[in-house]
A = this chain, B = another copy of it.
Amino acid sequence: MTHSEFAEYLQVQRSAIDRALERSLRVYHGQTLTVFKAMRYGLFPGGKRIRPTLTLAAGEMFGGKQKDLLPFACAVEMIHAYSIIHDDLPAMDDDDLRRGQPTAHKVFGEGMALLAGDGLLTEAFHLISGPQVLRKLPAELVLQLIHELSHAAGIAGLVGGQAVDLEAENQDVDVATVEYIHVRKTGALILAAIRIGAQVAGAKPGDLRRISKFGEYLGLAFQIADDILDALGVTVTGERAESDHNELKKATYPSVVGIVQATERLQELSRQCDRELAPYGNMAERLQAIAEHVVARAIRQREAQ
């Protein structure tokens, strides 16, 4: 896949995901509550939609249909959007800007932003437990996917990672703690996004194991790349561009092992990602391109400085 083919691919997926997000909120058509506006503000325009794109790519790789995958892709993105709104709150990272725009609590107030996050998290589970999903997939599978997604989002995953990250602020931490945080705070939802896509598509156990390995490596790579770009003053996804949370000392890979070792670790993870996908050849082209995209910008930026 050339660079421009990949850019177009991302754009097409993003449009499909945005349309599906709009459809999933159509049930609230005419809803005039401020909290609904705040939820929409957290969801749109969004970033590059990498997580839901991973759900689609992993699912399509195993023969899944986009229309079956989209509700789960949307639920993953809603959980990501909720986590960003809560993470930006003054009680957490206290960010005024996100992707160059005022954060939700700056626009709607802290209480409303808190509730908008709660609303998005709840809506994720409401969406994938609904009749539209049940018409397409066996109920047992849908339950299993809800169980996995809530595991990834809960204290064994995202919430747990955020909590340890919060406690690590302004503390001296070691590499193990940084990896612990990264694997949960960022990795768990990326892994779930990929595994859910594969399972919707009916991936066999051996394939699911392999793709899960890929997901684990990618999740960690994603956060290390973000850390490196942050340390260099740019970001991999644009998601934290112009954030002002740098007053806090956060637990990051480069801050603990230095930027040289962090870059080496990222390259190692990139090779591990490739190795897991190798057996699938062209079938894995999209997942491979996403992984390359995540890693390459950090490496290029590093080399340019």
Contact of B122 with A153 in the complex, beta carbons under 8 Å: yes
Contact of A119 with B35 in the complex, beta carbons under 8 Å: no
Query: Is the CB of A143 closer than 8 A to any CB of chain B?
Result: yes
Report how far A254 CA is from B207 CA in the complex, Å.
62
Q: Provide 21 A-B residue pairs closer than 8 Å at the C-beta atoms, listed in order of the A residue.
A: A31-B155, A33-B163, A34-B163, A34-B167, A35-B160, A39-B155, A86-B114, A86-B115, A89-B91, A90-B110, A91-B91, A112-B163, A115-B163, A118-B159, A121-B121, A122-B159, A123-B150, A126-B147, A126-B151, A130-B147, A138-B139
User: Which residues of B sit under 8 angstroms from A56, Cβ to Cβ?
Assistant: none
Contact of A122 with B121 in the complex, beta carbons under 8 Å: yes
Report how far A230 CA is from B179 CA in the complex, Å.
48
Query: Is the CB of A41 closer than 8 A to any CB of chain B?
Result: no
User: Which residues of B sit under 8 angstroms from A162, Cβ to Cβ?
Assistant: 115
Query: Is the CB of A10 closer than 8 A to any CB of chain B?
Result: no
Report how far A129 CA is from B151 CA in the complex, Å.
10
Contact of A143 with B160 in the complex, beta carbons under 8 Å: no
Give the number of residues in A that approach B within 8 Å (Cβ atoms).
54
Nearest to A39 among chain B residues (CB) is B155
Contact of A86 with B166 in the complex, beta carbons under 8 Å: no
Query: Is the CB of A241 closer than 8 A to any CB of chain B?
Result: no
Query: Is the CB of A142 closer than 8 A to any CB of chain B?
Result: yes
How distant is A206 from chain B, measured CB to nearest CB, in Å?
A: 22
How distant is A76 from chain B, measured CB to nearest CB, in Å?
A: 14
User: Which residues of B sit under 8 angstroms from A150, Cβ to Cβ?
Assistant: 122-123, 125-126, 129
Contact of A86 with B118 in the complex, beta carbons under 8 Å: yes
Report how far A111 CA is from B159 CA in the complex, Å.
11
How distant is A72 from chain B, measured CB to nearest CB, in Å?
A: 14
Q: A1-46: which residues lie under 8 A (CB-CB) from chain B? A: 28, 31, 33-36, 39
Contact of A91 with B114 in the complex, beta carbons under 8 Å: yes
Contact of B125 with A155 in the complex, beta carbons under 8 Å: no
How distant is A287 from chain B, measured CB to nearest CB, in Å?
A: 26
Report how far A39 CA is from B86 CA in the complex, Å.
17
Contact of A92 with B114 in the complex, beta carbons under 8 Å: yes
User: Which residues of B sit under 8 angstroms from A28, Cβ to Cβ?
Assistant: 155-156
Question: Which among B105, B112, B140 is the interface contact of A139 at CB below 8 angstroms?
Answer: B140
Query: Is the CB of A146 closer than 8 A to any CB of chain B?
Result: yes
Contact of A155 with B35 in the complex, beta carbons under 8 Å: yes
Query: Is the CB of A164 closer than 8 A to any CB of chain B?
Result: yes
Nearest to A160 among chain B residues (CB) is B33
Query: Is the CB of A47 closer than 8 A to any CB of chain B?
Result: no
Query: Is the CB of A134 closer than 8 A to any CB of chain B?
Result: yes
Over the window 94-118 of chain A, the binary record of Cβ atoms lying under 8 Å from chain B Cβ atoms (1 yes, 0 no) is: 0000000000010001111111011
Report how far A117 CA is from B91 CA in the complex, Å.
13
Report how far A143 CA is from B91 CA in the complex, Å.
34
User: Which residues of B sit under 8 angstroms from A125, Cβ to Cβ?
Assistant: 125, 146, 150
